[in-house]
Amino acid sequence: MLYSKSIEFASGQSESTPTITRFKVNRGILYRVWIQFPAGCAGLTKLRIYLGGHPICPISKTETIRGDNYTFEFPLFYPIIVEPQQIQVVGWNEDDTYSHTIQIILLILPKKYVLPVGATEGIMESLSALIINQGEET
């Protein structure tokens, strides 16, 4: 499921006066995030994305995402196990003249469509053991 919001950040904000936007999302795997900064932001609009109170984009509490005429794409793998779960976008706009609107898109896939990380290793080990065992029997 895709979740999308256009978030307007007023001019003259700071990290201590952020705009906070919440996405209510269903269970699954947070698989991808796109953040579109339109031309004119000049790196003055900054944000972080949180899941369960922990930063996930970027993962450091001291870093921010900012840009100008650029769309960031983040491949992720965060299980959403509580429904509904809240994902927070916390951002601010240090531009003292213009407000800026940032587009945030979240892709959450059902667990059954996402092969868990490392699952192929277990499958390959099992197949390998099966082939080796059958070879010993002949």
pLDDT at 2: 95
CA distances from 100 to 5, 31, 37 (A): 13, 26, 8
Domain coordinates of the chain in residue numbers?
2-137
CATH classification (class only), 2-137: mainly beta
Distance separating alpha carbons of residues 41 and 8, to the nearest angstrom: 12
* Nearest residue to 85 via CA among 29, 19, 39, 8: 29
The token pair that represents 33 in the structure block? 């995030």
pLDDT at 114: 77
- Residue 138 pLDDT greater than 80, yes or no: no
**pTM, full prediction:** 0.81
* Nearest residue to 35 via CA among 97, 118, 91: 91
Q: Are strands 100-109 and 28-37 parallel, antiparallel or unpaired?
A: antiparallel
Give the CA radius of gyration of the chain: 20
If one compares 65 and 127, the residue with the highest pLDDT of the two is 65
List pLDDT tens digits, range 74-123. Answer: 999 999 988 889 999 999 999 999 999 999 999 999 988 776 555 555 66
List pLDDT tens digits, range 40-83. Answer: 999 999 999 999 889 999 999 999 999 999 999 999 999 998 88
- Residue 12 pLDDT greater than 90, yes or no: yes
- Residue 134 pLDDT greater than 60, yes or no: no
Q: 46 has which bridge partners?
A: 66, 92
